[in-house]
Structures are given as structure tokens and as C-alpha cells.
Amino acid sequence: MGVDLRQVVAGILTITMFVMLGQMLHRDYFDAVQVQGDAHDIVFHGSKVALEEDGLVRTSEGPWMENSHQLKPCWSISQPDEAVSSKGYVTFSLTNGPEYHISQITDAVMVAKHLGATLVLPDIRGTKPGDEMNFEDVYDVDKLVKSLESVVKVVKKLPSHVSLRDIAIVKVPSRVAEDYIKEHIDPIFKSKGNIRVTTYFPSVNLRKLSLDAETDPVSCLAMFGSLELQPGVSDLVESMIQRLKKSDGRFIAIDLRVEILEKKNCRETGAVGSKTCYNAQEIALFLRKLGFGSDTTIYLTQPRWESSLNILKDIFPKTFTKEAIMPADKKSKYLELENSEYENVIDFYISSRSDVFVPAIPGLFYANTVGKRIALGKPQVLVPAEISGSSGLSTDYISPYISKKNHLAYSCFC
């Protein structure tokens, strides 16, 4: 029996329409940065931004924006040539990934500075028991010590005469301020002589407290000027970025992790066109409606490939996870260990330096990635939302952190 070519074409078109409709039904996103309470309850609300048209470069591949000038630090610290410290010590650990490390180092430095204490180099702990690394396995020790030398004294370990029993554990809120330290922490420090600081997060919001609010210069230095990757890890990240850029010189990084999406149970919120997170199918349609072509290179923070990502690769064939672009001789050290700390670090620093960053999941990874991108002059952070028509302008979906200039990074850079 003969086959009518017109019927075949009609059938394909019908299937395509149903697939697109299914994608559109899921297409609501968080696009604001009103974040309060637990990180799992964060939702973004839409925010449009008027950017100059000549700041947008439309090519056949997509609506890429040119980078702005890299900003310079605005903070100024008037301190003696060498930091003055007491006999007491402040200890702490870096936990839960680089997006938390930034806040943890900032709070520890703030506490040590305002107590006049000596800061002990932290270890790095993963999410599983026994996942421990030395600070120098990931970060540059010399950079940290030198950057903080006029603020706090840093030592690599506690002196042998200091007993762990003599250290009081003190919980501090993220973005801890000098007044809080004086009122709540100083009395404990004077009583015990040594403290261990652990940061808790009443909010993962990194907005400025007000438009004209000033951030403590010590906080700015610790947050943006102290942590730097050690050479081996830095070189690996650079090599992976260059592989992503090899095709057409640009790429999009998407923070999308299947395991987290499954736990969060992405749901609609009360706001129109708003969801708590987005899956691969929804992100793919969002990018296509903005005009990114099928030849666009995409990097995913997802640890390993999952079948649920296939729809994204069908639309954007050049979509990769780290296992596909990491040099083979590096995988045994950085990819095949049960400790995922290296992988988290790689994701964070690639996302900070990509040409476009798209957060499929809200939280501190998103907030601190935006902060680093602001400092680097990389403003194209696109927060997805429902696009009712067949296309949309990418400038309508720039992160409110950037469109409203309300990220605390704008208090530290100019």
C-alpha cells in the first residue's frame, strides 16, 4: 500500500504541536529575587529591564549580550600594616559547596576581625560523613592569607596547647554585622577565649538592605577578594571553559540538577507565570523562544547524564555535562571520587564565567553566582518565566539582582 507523503508530514506536525503544548503548560518560572525563609521555598517574580538596544548582539545563534566592563573594588580598608590579634582563635569549616563557602568565609572573617582574634584556616567538608578535604586541595592558601593580612591574622592550624574542649561553638546568621558580634559573640569569646563559628542561613537573599546601604568593607574583601582556586583546579576549569567555547566562542551555563528538581517537586505559585523551579523541557522551550539557535553550546551542572535531559539535547545538540568535557586524565581525581566537592566547585566557577547563566533552581548558588558575574562584568543572567507568545526579548528576563542593581555586590564594586 502506498504512503501519502502529505499524511506523513501532517502527522509529524501534529506530534510536534502536542510536544510544544506540553512544554508550554509547564512553562512558569521564578523570576524574582524575593527570597525569605528556607531556600526550598524561594520563588522569583518577573522583572523587566530596559537596556540599550546597542548592548544586545543578535546573531543567527541567539540574543547574546556583550560583556560590560569589569568592575573595580570600591571598598577601602584603613588598617595598620599588620593585623592585630588577641590570644584567642576563631575556627570554622567550609561546607555544602562553594556558594556556601563564600558566605562562611565572610562571616568567619567578620567575627575574627571584630573580636581581634586569629583566624584558623578552615577544612572543607562535604555533605556525607567523612567527606573532608584540606583547604589547599581546592583554594589558594597564599592568596587567602595575603588578601586578609591587613584585616586578620591567619594560621594554618590551632596551636597544640589549645584543647578542643576550650572552644565554644557559636552559630551566627549569614551576613553577620558588627553590632551583632559585639552583643552576642564577644561575651562568649571573652569567657571561653576561643570559638568555632558555624553560619546558618535565615535567608539566602543577597539583596542590598537598601538602595543606598553601605556594606562593611571587611565583608566585601572577604566575600570577593579572599577565595581563589588553587592552580590545579583553576587550570582544569579554564580548560573546560575553552572546550565549551571552541565551537562558536560562547556558551550558556544552566544550573539544573535532576535530583534537586525531583526533591523540590516544582510547582506553580500564586503569582502568574511563576514556578519554584524548572525542568529540562521547560528550559529548552524558554531558550528557543528567546531566539537561541540549535547550534548553541550549553553546559549543565547536572553531575551525570539523565534520560530526562534528552529533550534538551534534542533541541540543543551541543549540550554537555562535565563528564563529556573534562580531560580524560583528570577524571579519576576530579570526577570519579565519591566526594563531589570538586564537581560543585567546577560548576560554580564555570557558571560564573559563562556568557549566559540560567538558574533552573533558585537558591544560594544562583545568588552567589550572580555576585561573581557582576564583579566580572557578565550581566546576562536570564531568569526563566512563561513566554505567552512565540518569542520574547532576552532583556525582559534579566535577573532582578542585575536589572534593579540590588545585589549586595553593587555595594562592593563600582
Domains of the chain: 89-226 (no CATH), 231-411 (3.40.50.11350)
Beta bridge partners of 229: 139
- Given a cut of 70, whether residue 175 has pLDDT beyond it is yes
- Which pLDDT score is estimated for 8? 42
Check residue 406 and give its pLDDT. Answer: 92
Query: Over 70: is that where the pLDDT of 52 sits?
Result: no
pLDDT band at 69 (very low <50, low <70, confident <90, very high): confident
Sign of the Cα torsion 112, 117, 123, 126 reads: negative
- pLDDT for 274 equals 67
Mean pLDDT of 56-85: 70
Q: How confident is the model at residue 126 (pLDDT cuts 50, 70, 90)?
A: confident
pLDDT in tens, 301-318: 998 888 889 999 999 999
Q: What is the pLDDT of residue 275?
A: 76
Say which range, 206-210, 257-261, 314-318, 336-340, has the weakest mean pLDDT. Answer: 336-340
At residue 164, the pLDDT reads 85
Q: What is the pLDDT of residue 352?
A: 97
pLDDT for residue 262? 73
At 38 the pLDDT is: 33
User: Among the listed ranges 69-73, 79-83, 137-141, which one has the minimum average pLDDT value?
Assistant: 79-83
Q: How confident is the model at residue 339 (pLDDT cuts 50, 70, 90)?
A: low
5 has a pLDDT exceeding 60: no
| pLDDT for position 269 | 64
pLDDT at 382: 96
pLDDT tens digits along 226-248: 999 999 999 999 999 999 999 88
Q: What average pLDDT does the chain have?
A: 83
Distance of alpha carbon 182 from alpha carbon 160, whole angstroms: 28
pLDDT at 82: 56
